[in-house]
Amino acid sequence: MTAIIFLIVWGAAIFCAHQLGVRRNRKYGWVWGFLLGWIGVIVVACLRDAKDKEMEQLERQLRIQELQKRLEQ
């Protein structure tokens, strides 16, 4: 009986981590829940949106290009 309850709680953590990962555009949110249980759910909840990270990288690249153009002038 204890094993069944453990599996249900663990499965719920995997499901919650997966759902949070989907909302944050993360492909492997469920892995955090699988490996760390409810601590993994907290980790996924604290991760930034994957699109935010991509936007920051693109903005950085644009700034570098602008600086290179200014240096060439």
Domain ranges of the chain: 2-72
Q: How much is the pTM?
A: 0.67
What is the reported pLDDT for 8?
94
The pair of structure tokens assigned to 23 is 């909302």
For residue 41, give the H/E element and its range.
helix 38-46
Tell whether the model's pLDDT for residue 13 goes beyond 90: yes
Question: Percent of the chain, pLDDT > 90?
Answer: 55
Phi, psi of 28 (to 5 degrees): -115, 40
Residues 14 and 17: their CA atoms lie apart, in Å, by 5
Question: Percent of the chain, pLDDT > 70?
Answer: 99
Q: Are 15 and 33 in contact (CB under 8 A)?
A: yes
Q: Are 44 and 29 in contact (CB under 8 A)?
A: yes
Chain mean pLDDT for the chain: 89
